[in-house]
Amino acid sequence: DAKTTQPPSMDCAEGRAANLPCNHSTISGNEYVYWYRQIHSQGPQYIIHGLKNNETNEMASLIITEDRKSSTLILPHATLRDTAVYYCIVIPSTSGTYKYIFGTGTRLKVLA
Amino acid sequence: DSGVTQTPKHLITATGQRVTLRCSPRSGDLSVYWYQQSLDQGLQFLIQYYNGEERAKGNILERFSAQQFPDLHSELNLSSLELGDSALYFCASSPTGGDEKLFFGSGTQLSVL
């Protein structure tokens, strides 16, 4: 079963930052946090991942709390094209038989 | 374009029939994953292969089976189809099946009538 909890839906005004929270209170020390998004019925797309430190790339920033029990994905300037379902999942660092489980995600709607 | 190719894009069939979905992973990727997504549902993990061998199994029905061939492409076989099997089926690939990002194909839309 999914090891993360996310709000089912969120709205964000276009041009504003979208902050998507994820709770992973049972995360282990060697488990990474990954974020993906799925636009309409397309295949999910990788966004960003992290272990302990905050991460930033051209798509988003990932803020992980010091106790690693939660994280926030930040889309700094949301556009209409960012409307999608965002999935937060945890991945062990030495995956052998781990099942890449996606939860139900957060449905983000960017409003004009 | 993720580099993962799924065929066919759409498939319409009748209850009781059998179909085969095909997936070609990105060049160099050894691991393939299959997911099922019913209407307005999340992604359900079905099965993972690594270099031809089954590595992990999720909620895959006994009527479903999969395999990964020596050229690393994979096929998902669905038999005795039921109306409830209508869904989007996604394939993903990754280099080693470890702690790395997955690259998803565009999916196969299966409609069972």
Helix, strand, coil proportions of chain B in percent (round to 5)?
A: 5, 50, 45
- The ranges of chain A with pLDDT < 70 are 1-2, 92-98
Check CB contact of B55 with chain A, cutoff 8 Å.
yes
Model pLDDT for residues B28-54, shown as the tens digit of each residue: 999 999 999 998 778 899 999 999 999
B57: nearest CA in chain A? A99
The pLDDT value recorded for residue A26 is 87
Check CB contact of A44 with chain B, cutoff 8 Å.
yes
Check CB contact of A34 with chain B, cutoff 8 Å.
yes
Model pLDDT for residues B57-79, shown as the tens digit of each residue: 888 999 999 999 999 999 999 99
Cβ-contact A80, A38 below 8 angstroms: no
Residue in A42, A93, A101 closest to B106 by CB: A42
The pLDDT value recorded for residue A101 is 82
Task: State whether B104 and A91 contact (CB < 8 Å).
Answer: no
Res. B2 pLDDT band, cuts 50 70 90: confident
User: How distant is the alpha carbon of residue B61 from its chain centre?
Assistant: 13
**Two tokens at B92?**
């993903």
Task: State whether A98 and B90 contact (CB < 8 Å).
Answer: no
Relative to beta strand B108-112, strand B10-13 is: parallel
Check CB contact of A104 with chain B, cutoff 8 Å.
yes
Residue in A34, A93, A104 closest to B101 by CB: A34
The pLDDT value recorded for residue A29 is 82
Question: A31 CA to chain B: closest CA distance, Å?
Answer: 9
Query: Percent of chain B scored above 90 by pLDDT?
Result: 83
Average pLDDT of B100-109? 94
